Chains A and B, each alone.
Chain A
Amino acid sequence: MSPAPTAHVESVDFVMLYIVAISVILLIGITVTMIYFVFKFNRKKGHQPVDIHGNLLLEVVWIVIPTLLVLSMFYFGYTSYREYRIKPDNPLVVDVTARMWQFTFKYGNGKMTDTLYVPVNTAIDLEMKSMDVNHCLYIPAFRIKEDIIYGQTHHLYFTPKEVGDYDIACAEYCGLNHAKMYTKVKVINDDQFTKWYGGNWQPVKTEIPKE
């Protein structure tokens, strides 16, 4: 596996792993218990069924433990989400225009492209608007997306820490060629970016915590 392209990816994958691990345990527990009962209490064995109407202790246990589990899932999901929603200080702002069926990126110096170029280790703020219907800018490798509701301005923040090309897709159905709204975000070195940008873009370094 290549290293996570943003810090947020690690935290989303942790939440995913946490919930899926608990889920797999529960699923196996339920399935195995059920199959075991079907064999153990099979009619062929001929024991008398026992009417058990309930068991207070058991019922309290199986409501309290799942409650605690889901609260912890909620908590991890929320904290990871919070940190992703915080607007970074001095980000590089890129204007994004979504239209049927294309994204356009516009930089501070007026440069326009249909592929998103960003410098590595710099906080990015995508300021997104739509020209027609709702779209949604989705970067699967970064585990983030935000709808672009027509008539509103939406923001998406991320700080790439690995150089590379990553897919951008549209994730809100927008008509005929919704499936073709793919483009890329190209994360490149400062030097390359300066050259591509054709001038000073005032890099603002954010501290990337070491893992």
Chain B
Amino acid sequence: MANGTIAMTDLPVPKAEKSFFEQSTNKHSGILSWLLTTDHKRIGLMYMFGIISFFLVGAIIGLLMRLELLSPGGKIFSAQTYNSLFTLHGVIMIFLFIIPGIPAIFGNFFLPIQIGARDVAFPRLNLLSWYVYIVGAILALTSLFLPGGPIDTGWTFYIPYSVRSGSNVSLAIFAAFILGFSSILTGINFVTTTHRLRAPGMSFFKMPLFVWATYATAWIQIIATPVIAITILLVIIERAFGVGIFDPALGGDPVLYQHMFWIYSHPAVYIMILPAMGVVSEIIPTFARRTIFGYKQIAYSSLAIAFIGYLVWGHHMFSSGQSDTSNWIFSLLTFLVALPSGVKIFNWVATMYKGSIDPQPPFLWVMSFIVLFSIGGLTGLVLGALATDIHLTDTYFVVAHFHYVMFGGTGTIFIAAFHYWFPKMFGKMYNLKFAKIAVVTYFIGFNMLYFPKFIMGYLGMPRRYYDYLPMYTPYQRISTYGSWILVSTLFFIVGYFIHAYFRGKKATSNPWGGVTLEWHIPSPPPVENFKVIPVITHDPYDFSQLKEMKDE
């Protein structure tokens, strides 16, 4: 019997069983049954609407920037507009899309199910964190339309410029402050849920790796986010009351600001990537139908990354006059922290060895991820080395590197996760042929958009420029053409998912042959997830259960 008692209770799925879409958790129906829900699945979907909307807005802003850069001369927007565009693009993509992205949607939806729980530990806190996210987003939007105009400091808000700028810096960074709390609340919820609500028999080393990754991420959210909150408050105090904290004109220290900013923002890079790594560790075993290679190594390396990740922030400041000693120490630590990520890639590829591979769309997205993320990681080595970093920092090389890591890495897996879990979440199947086409055009568009930026960076093209020297024109052209392919692909993907939701074929409860707990329950799941809490007897990726599950 697959995973103890669950198979039995799950056996005759009565037609009458209502899914979480059909059954409200409160006395309301309609929109209020959503806005006041405490069901982790509904909250996950509410996050989904917010996060995807912002992702598309961010992508359109990216498209506009690329349009400006199609040819030299700054013909389309004013310099001020371009400066606000890249700031908004950065703020939206970082704070509203990539940081909450996977944990808030898929963590909320699947973490409780994967450990055999009925909900998160604090369901109402969970709803609160969604509202905090929305309030933060509304504040950020409001700052665009108030006198002073949209923020133009870059998403790093470096002092002294962010104290001098006449744009609405205070409100915009206050929005980031609020969003931080949403992140902290989610983190607390996930840590507690993982510790307290695991089903009987589910020891830590029986947890799926997505749970491990989300759990490690939650710790970073709790520990690192307060640092940015404090930093932001200090900047607001400095702007509002002229207290000298960071601005040398008032007796402050601008390098202190950079330290505090990166003490959060480097670990935040792991908030972005770890959950994605967790999703990869789910998808590969399912489609290779064998256990993951090096389960413990992957689980521990998530924790290692989470904690060593705090010690390398200084690699963002190699050219800012930091002492040579700090520089070499940060450089060395950066190289060392790169190792666990590299090892994970080897583990994933090794998991394909002697598997029985069925390259369905989620798997194809993961293959695309492995290439794009490897390019991002390997170019990170170029930036970790001091001599080359001095040349390349603050150029397009960095812009290319972080898009490969964040977008090619986490963004690709965000899309992969939808392809993997969509049938479970909505009970519908999408068009597999469309999905396969999208993988290909995405990969082509992505590389056209970002690869030329590595070359431009090496040739000396600085970032955050609304105009450029004519020598860069051919590369900028290719990059802009790539953005057209890529962004159309994004809309194509959204389109076929919407189509699938309304017109798609009904999905079975286990279309891919997965064995983690979410594949044992109906699609879409009922409100309570499990009628009877399962007793866990199998390892998470033990596909011998599959036979028994088929008979369920």
Q: How far is the CA of A179 from the CA of B81 in the complex (A)?
A: 13
| Size bracket of the A interface | 35 or more
- Which stretch from B111-119, B209-217, B329-337 is at the chain A interface? B329-337
Known: A167-B469, A176-B83. A53 touches B462 (CB 8 A): no
A77 contacts partner chain B, Cβ-Cβ < 8 Å: yes
Check if B385 sits within 8 Å of A73, measured CB to CB: yes
Known: A27-B375, A30-B370, A81-B327. A179 touches B293 (CB 8 A): no
B386 contacts partner chain A, Cβ-Cβ < 8 Å: yes
Q: How far is the CA of A11 from the CA of B321 in the complex (A)?
A: 21
A134 contacts partner chain B, Cβ-Cβ < 8 Å: yes
Q: Which residues of B contact A177 (CB under 8 A)?
A: 79
A1 contacts partner chain B, Cβ-Cβ < 8 Å: no
Check if A147 sits within 8 Å of B297, measured CB to CB: no
A133 contacts partner chain B, Cβ-Cβ < 8 Å: yes
Q: How far is the CA of A136 from the CA of B324 in the complex (A)?
A: 18
Q: How far is the CA of A85 from the CA of B324 in the complex (A)?
A: 8
Check if B469 sits within 8 Å of A134, measured CB to CB: no
Which residue of chain B is the closest to A61 with respect to CB atoms?
B346
A169 contacts partner chain B, Cβ-Cβ < 8 Å: yes
Q: Which residues of B contact A113 (CB under 8 A)?
A: none
B149 contacts partner chain A, Cβ-Cβ < 8 Å: no
Known: A149-B321, A151-B254, A176-B83. A26 touches B289 (CB 8 A): no
Q: Which residues of B contact A38 (CB under 8 A)?
A: 352, 357, 359, 367
Known: A134-B158, A136-B319. A41 touches B375 (CB 8 A): no
Interface residue from B154, B160, B374, B390 paired with A145 (Cβ < 8 Å): B390
B152 contacts partner chain A, Cβ-Cβ < 8 Å: yes
Q: How far is the CA of A80 from the CA of B382 in the complex (A)?
A: 13
Check if B381 sits within 8 Å of A23, measured CB to CB: yes
B165 contacts partner chain A, Cβ-Cβ < 8 Å: yes
Q: How far is the CA of A134 from the CA of B359 in the complex (A)?
A: 50
* 8 A Cβ contacts from B142-162 to A: 152-154, 158, 160-161
Check if B161 sits within 8 Å of A133, measured CB to CB: yes
Known: A37-B357, A78-B331. A49 touches B387 (CB 8 A): no
* 8 A Cβ contacts from B167-214 to A: none
Q: How far is the CA of A100 from the CA of B385 in the complex (A)?
A: 31
A193 contacts partner chain B, Cβ-Cβ < 8 Å: no
Interface residue from A15, A37, A70, A77 paired with B338 (Cβ < 8 Å): A70
Closest approach, in angstroms, between the C-beta of B510 and any C-beta of chain A?
16
Check if B385 sits within 8 Å of A175, measured CB to CB: no
Check if B165 sits within 8 Å of A175, measured CB to CB: yes
Check if B386 sits within 8 Å of A80, measured CB to CB: yes
Check if A51 sits within 8 Å of B290, measured CB to CB: yes
Interface residue from A63, A74, A169 paired with B460 (Cβ < 8 Å): A169
Q: How far is the CA of A136 from the CA of B129 in the complex (A)?
A: 40
A112 contacts partner chain B, Cβ-Cβ < 8 Å: no
A4 contacts partner chain B, Cβ-Cβ < 8 Å: no
Q: How far is the CA of A35 from the CA of B357 in the complex (A)?
A: 11
Check if B154 sits within 8 Å of A173, measured CB to CB: yes
B345 contacts partner chain A, Cβ-Cβ < 8 Å: yes
Which residue of chain A is the closest to B328 with respect to CB atoms?
A78
A93 contacts partner chain B, Cβ-Cβ < 8 Å: no
Which residue of chain B is the closest to A70 with respect to CB atoms?
B335
Q: How far is the CA of A182 from the CA of B327 in the complex (A)?
A: 28
Check if A41 sits within 8 Å of B349, measured CB to CB: no
* 8 A Cβ contacts from A31-80 to B: 31, 33-35, 37-38, 41-43, 46-55, 58-59, 62-63, 66-67, 70-71, 73-74, 76-78, 80
Closest approach, in angstroms, between the C-beta of B37 and any C-beta of chain A?
39
Q: How far is the CA of A149 from the CA of B290 in the complex (A)?
A: 54
B230 contacts partner chain A, Cβ-Cβ < 8 Å: no
Check if A154 sits within 8 Å of B321, measured CB to CB: yes
* 8 A Cβ contacts from A182-208 to B: 182
- Which stretch from B231-239, B272-280, B391-399 is at the chain A interface? B391-399
Interface residue from A63, A67, A81, A175 paired with B83 (Cβ < 8 Å): A175
Chain B 246-283: CB-based contact to A (< 8 A → 1; otherwise 0)? 00110001110000000000000000000000000000
Check if A41 sits within 8 Å of B358, measured CB to CB: no
Check if A63 sits within 8 Å of B343, measured CB to CB: yes
B39 contacts partner chain A, Cβ-Cβ < 8 Å: no
Check if B291 sits within 8 Å of A138, measured CB to CB: no
* 8 A Cβ contacts from A151-183 to B: 151-152, 154, 167, 169-180, 182
Interface residue from B165, B370, B379, B460 paired with A138 (Cβ < 8 Å): B460
Check if B465 sits within 8 Å of A179, measured CB to CB: yes
Check if B297 sits within 8 Å of A59, measured CB to CB: yes
A114 contacts partner chain B, Cβ-Cβ < 8 Å: no
Q: How far is the CA of A116 from the CA of B157 in the complex (A)?
A: 31
Which residue of chain B is the closest to A148 with respect to CB atoms?
B321
Check if A67 sits within 8 Å of B339, measured CB to CB: yes
Q: Which residues of A contact B389 (CB under 8 A)?
A: 77
Check if B393 sits within 8 Å of A150, measured CB to CB: no
Chain B 391-427: CB-based contact to A (< 8 A → 1; otherwise 0)? 1011100000000000000000000000000000000
Interface residue from A20, A66, A80, A143 paired with B342 (Cβ < 8 Å): A66
Chain A 5-17: CB-based contact to B (< 8 A → 1; otherwise 0)? 0000001100110
Q: Which residues of B contact A58 (CB under 8 A)?
A: 350
Q: Which residues of B contact A146 (CB under 8 A)?
A: 319, 321
Check if B295 sits within 8 Å of A170, measured CB to CB: no
Known: A19-B385, A70-B338. A175 touches B161 (CB 8 A): yes
Interface residue from B79, B331, B358, B378 paired with A74 (Cβ < 8 Å): B331
Check if A41 sits within 8 Å of B464, measured CB to CB: no
Closest approach, in angstroms, between the C-beta of A23 and any C-beta of chain B?
4
Q: Quick one: which of A26, A76, A145, A180 has the most chain B CB within 10 A?
A: A145
Chain B residues packing against A (C-beta within 8 Å): 74, 79-80, 83, 152-154, 158, 160-161, 164-165, 248-249, 253-255, 288-291, 293-297, 319-321, 324, 327-328, 331-332, 335-336, 338-339, 342-343, 345-346, 349-350, 352-359, 367, 370-371, 374-375, 378-379, 381-382, 384-391, 393-395, 458-460, 462-469, 542-543
**List of 5 A-B pairs having minimum Cβ-Cβ separation, nearest first:** A140-B460, A77-B385, A151-B248, A80-B387, A81-B386
8 A–B contacts from the bound complex (CB under 8 Å): A11-B387, A19-B388, A30-B371, A77-B389, A81-B390, A145-B393, A169-B460, A176-B79
Chain A residues packing against B (C-beta within 8 Å): 11-12, 15-16, 19-20, 23, 26-27, 30-31, 33-35, 37-38, 41-43, 46-55, 58-59, 62-63, 66-67, 70-71, 73-74, 76-78, 80-82, 84-85, 132-134, 136, 138, 140-141, 143-147, 149-152, 154, 167, 169-180, 182
In the complex, given contacts A41-B355, A179-B466, what are 19 additional A-B residue pairs having Cβ atoms less than 8 angstroms apart? Answer: A15-B388, A19-B388, A26-B378, A38-B367, A46-B356, A54-B296, A66-B342, A70-B381, A76-B387, A77-B387, A80-B386, A140-B460, A145-B319, A149-B321, A169-B460, A169-B462, A172-B158, A179-B465, A180-B467
